[in-house]
Structure 1
Amino acid sequence: MKASDLFVKCLETEGIEYIFGVPGEENADFMMSLEKSEQIKFILTRHEQGAAFMAEVYGRLTGNPAGCLGTLGPGATNLITGVADSNMDRSPMLVLTGQGASTRLHKESHQVMDVVAMFKPVTKWAQTILHANNIPEIVRKAVRLARTEKPGACHIELPEDIAKHNTDEKPMTVQRFRRPVADDKVVDQAFAKIKQAKHPIIIAGNGCIRKRASKQLRDFCEKARIGVISTFMAKGCVDMDADYCLYTVGLQAKDVVACAIDAADLVITLGYDMVEYHPHLWNKSGDKEIVHIDFLPCEIDSHYHPQTEVVGDLAHTLWMLNQRVDANGGLGFDLKQQAATRRDIIAELELHKDDDSVGKLKPQKVLWDVRQLMGAQDILLSDVGAHKMWIARHYQCHEPNTCLIPNGFCSMGFALPGAIAAAMVHPDRRILAICGDAGFMMNVQEMETARRYNVNIVIMVWEDKEYGLIAWKQQNEFGHHTDLSFNSPDWNQLADAFGWRGHVVDKTSGLIPTLESAFNEDGPSLVVVPIDYAENMKLTERLGNISCPI
């Protein structure tokens, strides 16, 4: 068969369901082959970056890679920000790019650049196909690496002349392997440290949102009652209503939840990833007793030097600890600090729940109302900006992967295209994306994609007419900020131009009915909220005067 046909058949064998992207001339043979596939859906996007964010969200929600596709040159460079975001947020992804004929790659040539070299720093693996017979091996390796902990992006480049070659090769059989598990003796060492502790605490990272890991973590906490603090991307690893859930950590300034870490005599990190929340923020002196439990050995850092490392499948390690807790007849800890911390955080979350502002809405109240409306399995996506900090602090979750925050590479423009993919994966759930007015406009063209595929999503834009997070940080450090302001479009006209329903809410009392109406509308809806970011500096002042509960 033709090489491009074999490429598609290999992707089908791997169970690939979606490829998002913008094709070019150099993808022509691949696209003709893909058109014949009854399994893989090609989603035509309006920009390659949007395609990469869609593939990222598909990967985060399913644990399996989707493809994002671009042509050579500018198509490939447009993909790179979304690819980097996926790779650093540990989402499996296949990056598929075309290339000029292999006969002209050695010299100056129209649109030709070394795309593989460009993608190497932002992927787990990048490779060009130089012979049609190598396609099965390359696809098998790329998918396996993309799925393997820590998951990430893998890039495959197909030159246009290679795509036309004939080959007798067939797809390789997909074979899954069981992850290595931790050694019994090391788990015994970790359990001994846990037993000896009086005030242990768990910091759960994004490794804990894998389904099996979350289930075993909840079982462990039901038995041991140790408090769990999650990073931004680990939200929902334990239920927000559980008395051992101490919500989220990750702000640069000291928050109430940090008090529980300060009081702990043992920190148990589970699936913790340094790209989210650097240990110097919670272990400034570098003297905390730490047990590291993860799929991989820990990153080397002077503020993160665990005395015990339990390396292996995270869910299996937690299962082994659960066995030891059962055999021990339970564990007894002093959890008064944990209970006081949870009490104080709940008070923070409820502080503005009855606010009735007009004109500009308080972020705390908006998120309180959103949480009341969203079901346990519904999905909220956050873009990047000041709103992300408020979502991280004030929007809590019942289930894993129901709040998607880009917190490794932290790319603006993530939420709108991401919401489109989320709606395709879970068309039965409410999908809400919260964006700043800056981040929303970075991929505003995907409004057309959402309308064309008629996905049921609601995009909420918090309008402050400036780059609010940068203003917040400059104000905090220098006492003023540079000019970061810009103008907004007429939001209802913008919605109408793309065939969306549009709503502007400037009264707190109108938020819940407007959102309910938007969720019940067919297709995509836009809800714009003028936001009161005077609360940013108030929060900074509040965090600067945190007094830990006793």
Structure 2
Amino acid sequence: MPNASDLLVTCLEAEGVEYVFGVPGEEIEELLFSLRDSTIEFVPTRHEQGAAFMADVWGRLTGEAGVCCATLGPGATNLITGVADAHLDKSPVVAITGQGDRDRLHKESHQALDIVDVFEPIVEWNAQIAEPEIVPESIRKAFKLAEYEKPGATHLEFPEDVAVEPIDAGPIPIRDPVRRPDPDDASVDRAARLIESAEYPIILAGNGAVRTRAADTIRSLVDRLGIPVVATYMGKGAISDREPASLMTLDSGPNDEAARAIDRADCVVAVGYDIAEHDPAGWNPDLKKTIVHVDHEPAEVYRHYNPDVEIVADVGAAVAAIDDELSAEACSLWCPELHDSLLETVTAPPDADDPVTVENALPLLREAMADQDVLLSDVGSHKMAIARSFPVYEPNTCVISNGLASMGIAVPGAIAADLAVDANVVAATGDGGFLMNAAELETASRLDCGFTVIVFNDEDYGLISEKQLQHRDEYFGTRLTNPDFVTFAESFGIEARRPETWTEIDRAFSAAIPSDDLTLIELPLD
């Protein structure tokens, strides 16, 4: 007779799960063997944080919940950073952790922590599966809440004595996703009147503009009306940066030209904007801007983000409804010269004698990547350069963590991306973030993944040094020493290169990125 563990895995199969990322442990032994006998591939990772990041990026790229698992105690706590990243980046993830037998949880016990309580602040919902009979409801609820807009993480704890109990049951049938209502006519009409009365309207495209697959409707509105668009870091790709209306991101340009454009704007149409991505005090410091909020949820209460009208509905439907209400003369492309200047700056290749910097390398990286290829950015000073200076032409092709902003996401995230999309994948990381999860190179090699890791090596926690220099004119506690990254990668059986001139760097990018090989390219920075 099947047991609760078999039933849980059957429910995962019914949810369409393809991979479970995790680290094996004694208290999830039954779950592992149930996975072995299923259609789901269990991917053993080198650290639980890597597993959670893989689930995080899988969810962000596919819109379907990524699944990670770990044993009790330290295994469960090691998941927290990746699960919290999914929580603040609005990525659907279901985390499953083991637990000891229920008869020892009322007292102090080896490795036993109240993990449900620990996870409470960083998930949409979590619970212990205390009885075999509640497995189907628990799994269905975990996936429904993880994937419902706005998505996020959920967590289930699975005690080992429950896992082995016999039960004969099946999964709960999956229905169509819950749909938000259409936007209400009164709010759409008011939003349209505010936009029409503005002299310098602008769209601020946030994470939700990409996450909800609303890019097509945004592009349609922009094509017809020419209203400029500036994105948050996680909204990159909502419209193509080739389009004259694109001002790239809020901080784009060598002198923050995009920030000056939004300073000039008198009406901001915030589409899928989440204030965890970018503090609105930075672009609405004097509280004078008219704000139209378009999202699946009402706006957060915030002094610098107090919208004049809120359209709470499906994001794409709301944008289409606004488009229908606006006349062709309602808006204009009031800063075309700024787009041309930005794009020319960020796509100009370096001269032969230019220093090796992240900013100078990005035009060559962009040239080597196709429009649909996916760039995973780790967190650090290179992330800021990518956010500001890397043009993006398709939605969801530049993955930046900017809610929790977790270092160490790039390599495990690239593994998930390589499994999830039919495109070339690049993991861009600094030496600090790379070594946080570099062991996952073994996971990538074992899975026969084919992507490119670019390590920008400045032997420093560079972003922190920059901040300290701004604040104090000196820095402390940030310097690092590193292994030989080429030898390190080769020890995993991975091809590795350390180009030094711009010609060598260009050739390395052009050879590695379109290939099916797993490659590491180290760029020592000047």
Report the equivalent of 2:61.
Answer: 61
Secondary structure of the 2:303 match is coil
From 420, 427, 430, the equivalent of 1:433 is 427
Task: Rate the CA distance shift 1:187–1:114 in 2: closer, same or farther, 3 A.
Answer: same
Spell out, residue by residue over 1:491-512, the C-alpha distance to the aligned partner (whole angstroms, 9 max, x if none): 2211111110010011111112
Q: What code does the residue aligned with 1:335 have? A: L
Secondary structure of the 1:216 match is helix
Structure 1 residue 357 displacement after superposition: 3.4
CA distance in 2, matches of 1:250, 1:45: 36
CA distance in 1, matches of 2:518, 2:291: 46
Secondary structure of the 2:350 match is coil
- Listed as ranges, the gaps of 5+ residues in structure 1 are 533-550
CA distance in 1, matches of 2:199, 2:460: 47
Structure 1 residue 320 displacement after superposition: 1.2
CA distance in 1, matches of 2:140, 2:249: 37
Report the equivalent of 1:379.
Answer: 374
CA distance in 1, matches of 2:471, 2:494: 40
CA distance in 2, matches of 1:222, 1:317: 17
Moved over 6 A (4+): 251-254
- 2:369 touches 2:514 (CA, 8 Å); kept in 1? no
Structure 1 residue 211 displacement after superposition: 5.8
Report the equivalent of 2:387.
Answer: 392
CA distance in 1, matches of 2:395, 2:137: 33
Secondary structure of the 2:112 match is coil
Report the equivalent of 1:525.
Answer: 519
CA distance in 1, matches of 2:20, 2:433: 24
Report the equivalent of 1:362.
Answer: 357
Report the equivalent of 1:349.
Answer: 346
From 501, 504, 518, the equivalent of 2:498 is 504
CA distance in 1, matches of 2:447, 2:100: 31
CA distance in 1, matches of 2:462, 2:356: 15
1:482-493 aligned at under 5 Å gives the runs: 482-493=476-487
- Alpha carbon RMSD of aligned pairs, Å? 1.6
- 1:22 touches 1:71 (CA, 8 Å); kept in 2? yes
Structure 1 residue 316 displacement after superposition: 1.0
Secondary structure of the 2:203 match is strand
Spell out, residue by residue over 1:161-211, the C-alpha distance to the aligned partner (whole angstroms, 9 max, x if none): 011112233210001222222211111111111121221001110001136
Structure 1 residue 51 displacement after superposition: 0.5
1:419 is the counterpart of 2:419: no
Spell out, residue by residue over 1:306-336, the C-alpha distance to the aligned partner (whole angstroms, 9 max, x if none): 11011111011112122223xx4x1343533
- 1:83 touches 1:95 (CA, 8 Å); kept in 2? yes
CA distance in 1, matches of 2:253, 2:274: 16
Aligned residues: 524
Secondary structure of the 2:180 match is coil
Secondary structure of the 2:522 match is strand
Spell out, residue by residue over 1:337-363, the C-alpha distance to the aligned partner (whole angstroms, 9 max, x if none): x2232233234325x6232237x5122
- 2:46 touches 2:440 (CA, 8 Å); kept in 1? yes
- Listed as ranges, the gaps of 5+ residues in structure 2 are none
Q: What code does the residue aligned with 1:340 have? A: E
Secondary structure of the 2:454 match is strand
Once the two structures are overlaid, the 10-residue window that deviates more, 257-266 or 305-314, is 257-266
Q: What code does the residue aligned with 1:258 have? A: A
- 2:364 touches 2:509 (CA, 8 Å); kept in 1? no
- 1:232 touches 1:276 (CA, 8 Å); kept in 2? yes
Secondary structure of the 2:127 match is strand
Spell out, residue by residue over 1:1-30, the C-alpha distance to the aligned partner (whole angstroms, 9 max, x if none): 311111011111111111100121110111
- 2:22 touches 2:48 (CA, 8 Å); kept in 1? yes
Secondary structure of the 1:187 match is helix
CA distance in 1, matches of 2:163, 2:462: 47
- 2:51 touches 2:412 (CA, 8 Å); kept in 1? yes
Q: What code does the residue aligned with 2:93 have? A: M
Structure 1 residue 146 displacement after superposition: 0.3
Q: What code does the residue aligned with 1:429 have? A: A
Structure 1 residue 103 displacement after superposition: 1.0
Report the equivalent of 1:266.
Answer: 267
- 1:227 touches 1:244 (CA, 8 Å); kept in 2? yes
Structure 1 residue 520 displacement after superposition: 5.4
- 1:132 touches 1:167 (CA, 8 Å); kept in 2? yes
Q: TM-score, normalised by structure 1?
A: 0.93
CA distance in 2, matches of 1:463, 1:348: 24
- 1:252 touches 1:281 (CA, 8 Å); kept in 2? no
Structure 1 residue 531 displacement after superposition: 1.6
1:89-488 aligned at under 5 Å gives the runs: 89-176=89-176, 177-210=178-211, 212-250=213-251, 255-325=256-326, 328=327, 330-336=328-334, 338-350=335-347, 353-357=349-353, 360-426=355-421, 428-488=422-482
CA distance in 2, matches of 1:274, 1:253: 24
Secondary structure of the 2:79 match is helix
- 2:469 touches 2:475 (CA, 8 Å); kept in 1? yes
Report the equivalent of 1:548.
Answer: none
Report the equivalent of 1:48.
Answer: 48
CA distance in 1, matches of 2:262, 2:294: 17
Structure 1 residue 519 displacement after superposition: 3.0
Report the equivalent of 2:13.
Answer: 12
- 2:369 touches 2:513 (CA, 8 Å); kept in 1? no
Q: TM-score, normalised by structure 2?
A: 0.97
Report the equivalent of 1:21.
Answer: 22
Q: What code does the residue aligned with 2:340 have? A: R
- 1:465 touches 1:486 (CA, 8 Å); kept in 2? yes
- In percent, how many aligned pairs have the same letter? 43
Spell out, residue by residue over 1:360-408, the C-alpha distance to the aligned partner (whole angstroms, 9 max, x if none): 5122220010111110100111000000000001101111110001110
Task: Rate the CA distance shift 1:273–1:253 in 2: closer, same or farther, 3 A.
Answer: farther
Q: What code does the residue aligned with 1:95 have? A: A
- 1:232 touches 1:250 (CA, 8 Å); kept in 2? no
Q: What code does the residue aligned with 2:402 have? A: N
CA distance in 2, matches of 1:414, 1:250: 22
CA distance in 2, matches of 1:103, 1:237: 52
Q: What code does the residue aligned with 1:333 have? A: C
